[in-house]
Amino acid sequence: MKKIVILTLFKNMFDEFLKSNAIKKAIEQKKVSIDLVDIRDFTNDKHKRVDFPPYGGGTGMIISCEPLCLAIDYSLNNILNSEKENTKIIYMSPRGKLLNYNLSKEISDDGYNYVIICGHYEGIDERVIEEYDIMEISIGDYVLTGGELACLVLLDSIIRLMPGVLSDGALDEESHTDNLLEYPQYTKPSEFRGRKVPEILISGNHQKINEYRKQESIRITKKYRPELLQKDK
Ligand SMILES: C[S@@+](CC[C@H](N)C(=O)[O-])C[C@H]1O[C@@H](n2cnc3c(N)ncnc32)[C@H](O)[C@@H]1O
């Protein structure tokens, strides 16, 4: 079972996600465990503050070393304990390695446990990253207010790839497997506002349907993400 510990200032942002079907199933089937740790529980500040102004000036606040390092130590020693050697630490960060299908797949399959840090304000003290040799992951070239949404994206993308979480075949032809985007999909009714479902899809000829879908995948990929067609599989 992959154990994931999330360090955050906003635990309640994970509530609905943990109740969703696929995630609940993955937890029940013991494919993954998710623990939430509130960084604020580890501050010694009498006002429960975890953020302070940056050295050198500038706007915004920085989450300080002490509560974050204590929260990491607690996660490693009290939650992961005997499995802490087999654990990697991620900081969700706009300057990190860009998340894509291959990185999600790697994290999903790699057999490691993870501690994931969600930043807030202007980020975290750099010394925390140095202290634990932390990997930074970004979900895109834009800046969010906090790392929680980014962490949810990462979690969802890795958990749905775990064998048995989704129904059989659900992952086979999804966008980004084989560097292709998914072909157009249709459901009932067969005609809507004069727009008919492509004839081939109701022909019952599965070989022709597969060929058609492959062509459509290539067409859509050329249209939206032509660079994917140049990538090694
Ligand atoms: C306002 S951002 C801090 C941005 C930081 N000052 C910078 O310019 O790189 C607050 C937190 O949101 C999270 N975050 C923001 N954008 C993100 C992204 N694209 N991917 C992952 N995490 C992100 C990080 O955890 C970050 O510490």
Closest listed residue to residue 70, CA positions, set 92, 103, 101, 37: 37
Say yes or no: 124 and 200 in one domain.
Answer: no
In a domain? residue 10: yes
What are the pLDDT digits (tens) for 35-80? 999 999 999 999 999 999 999 999 999 999 999 999 999 999 999 9
CA–CA distance from 65 to each of 84, 181, 198 (Å)? 20, 42, 58
Confidence of residue 170 (pLDDT cuts 50, 70, 90): confident
176 confidence band (pLDDT: 50, 70, 90): confident
| pLDDT score at 197 | 98
Q: Produce one character per residue of 158-194: b if its CB has 16 or more CB atoms within 10 Å, e if not.
A: bbbbbeebbeeeeeeeebbebbbbebeeeeeeeeeee
How far, in Å, from the CA of 59 to the mean position of ligand 1? 15
Mutate to test the pocket of ligand 1, among 9, 39, 51, 93 (most ligand atoms within 8 A of CB): 93
pLDDT in tens, 79-102: 999 999 999 999 999 999 999 999
pLDDT of 169 > 90? The answer is no
Number of domains in the chain: 2
Residue 36's DSSP bridge partners are 6
Range of the domain at 133: 2-159
Q: Quick one: pLDDT at residue 174?
A: 79
- Inside any domain, residue 169: no
pLDDT at position 24 is: 95
Q: Please spell the DSSP secondary structure of 24-69, one letter per residue.
A: HHHHHTTSEEEEEEEGGGG---TT---EEPPTT--SS-EE-HHHHH
Considering the domain architecture, whether residues 120 and 195 belong to the same structural domain is answered as: no
21 and 127 part of one domain: yes
In terms of domains, do 33 and 102 share one? yes
pLDDT bucket at 233, cuts 50 / 70 / 90: low
Answer whether residue 73 is part of any domain: yes
CA of 66 to the centre of ligand 1 (A): 20
Tell which one of 10, 99, 143 to mutate to probe ligand 1, the residue whose CB is within 8 A of the most ligand atoms: 143
Residues with CB under 6 A from ligand 1: 92-95, 118-120, 122-123, 138-140, 142-147, 150
Mutate to test the pocket of ligand 1, among 13, 92, 138 (most ligand atoms within 8 A of CB): 92
If asked whether residues 51 and 150 sit together in one domain, one would say yes
Confidence of residue 172 (pLDDT cuts 50, 70, 90): confident
The secondary structure of the chain in percent helix, strand, coil, rounded to multiples of 5, reads 45, 20, 35
Average pLDDT along the chain: 96
